[in-house]
Structure 1
């Protein structure tokens, strides 16, 4: 397997894993926890349930023009290619992604690997050989530009999370000025496979941290994302919501 082919495989498949769940930091959460936000009380019974919080977070993802996302992990497998970090912009309409990934490729650390997905085509800029068009289906991965699709993208994972439990609210965000509420749950494997078909875990453990306005600020997802590898925990953040950016194919 050539270095260029391996770089393309890691960048395409791992990028999707990095975006399986997204989070937002654009809006201030205020002083009250999200479960006291009456706007999220869909059934009007005076109680905001964890399920209603997830439905509200999904709606915010579905309505945004775009997000700026970041990913990192402290886990470093002893062997095998893996994704260490990713940064980029995901646009909803027209669907597009532009960013960079880093990780281990053929036992060698690689960083700042540019990735662009636009007009249904995925491009990876590999060292020496330059930009290469790749087919994400070859890597058990969908087109990352489609990850904001409200029906087949990442937001359905939020509402598919089972056994949701609310944790104790805490201060966070800029200058610890926001009230953040954690929610834990389990994501069924079939839901994750809608995004990453080769995911091997039976289920994935998730912790979502949500501000008082109902925006996710951070997500921790743990599971077997890639065949032949142990479970990995990724921390995913979105540094901004309602992003607008023109993304074009590399020349």
Structure 2
């Protein structure tokens, strides 16, 4: 009897150990090769989140600054500062423009598809044509479908960039390119056949679009940059026709 017991022990032990290994492999808590995990968000996913946040904001504060702008261009926007609503698209602020070599700050109200400006030395606002002034209608920037929110969807080859800090906020940068026709349609300047580089700064956690930097042939052959800052999402803003 001792002889039979001695022979079976080496056979039973590997079987028991093998069963334990199989049971462990079937455990849902295992981190083995069979376990599944959600793929990390892509750059396109983050842009979609930023689009939803902006389109649903209701209102924002907006700032714009241009750099490397050509001195010999007859008219262009230097900067802008103001606030607006997304539903309906409207803007109230000041646009700094350069016209015929003269730089001026122009109080501007854009609402109901109309652009009202108070030109230098003028006593009141006058209804104006954006094309004649050489400036875009700033309300179009806030349109949830075709404005900055829509521009996010037109970004080509988006890629996650660095993470950077802006004050107390941590921003995830997303880099890509934009077709010239999309840029011209929004900002009213640029080469429609050109390609523009764009860098977005998205606030981590909320994924609000905080910064936009677009560089390219706004006034060819020069390469210029327009940088936008958006904040104050959802803060009360009222825009009324003058």
Matched, 1:242 2:242: no
Report the CA distance between 1:196 and its aligned residue.
4.2
User: Equivalences for 1:15-54 in 2 at 5 Å?
Assistant: 45-54=38-47
Aligned to 2:65: 72
Cα distance in 2 for residues equivalent to 1:114 and 1:141: 13
Cα distance in 2 for residues equivalent to 1:165 and 1:225: 23
Cα distance in 1 for residues equivalent to 2:135 and 2:81: 18
Structure index of larger Rg: 2
Q: Of 116, 138, 152, which aligns to 1:158?
A: 152
Report the CA distance between 1:208 and its aligned residue.
0.9
Cα distance in 2 for residues equivalent to 1:181 and 1:126: 39
Aligned to 1:119: 112
Structure with the bigger RCO (C-alpha within 8 Å, sep 6+) is 1
Cα distance in 2 for residues equivalent to 1:106 and 1:142: 17
Aligned to 1:180: 171
Secondary structure of 1:241's match? coil
Report the CA distance between 1:146 and its aligned residue.
3.6
Aligned to 2:200: 208
Aligned to 2:164: 170
Report the CA distance between 1:60 and its aligned residue.
0.7
Matched, 1:218 2:211: yes
> Are the aligned partners of 2:117 and 2:128 in contact in 1 as well (CA < 8 Å)?
yes
Cα distance in 1 for residues equivalent to 2:188 and 2:165: 37
Aligned to 1:97: 91
Aligned to 1:190: 181
- Structure 1 stretch 189-198 or stretch 135-144: which is displaced more? 135-144
Report the CA distance between 1:140 and its aligned residue.
7.3
**Alignment CA distance shift 1:186-1:219 (3 Å):** same
Cα distance in 1 for residues equivalent to 2:184 and 2:162: 31
Aligned to 1:132: 126
Name the count of aligned residue pairs.
Answer: 202
Aligned to 1:87: 81
Secondary structure of 2:190's match? coil
Instruction: Normalising by structure 1, report the TM-score.
Output: 0.72
Instruction: Normalising by structure 2, report the TM-score.
Output: 0.74
Task: Tell me the C-alpha RMSD between the 2 structures.
Answer: 2.3
- Unpaired segments ≥5 residues, structure 2: 1-36
- Structure 1 stretch 188-197 or stretch 212-221: which is displaced more? 188-197
Secondary structure of 1:73's match? strand
Aligned to 2:102: 108
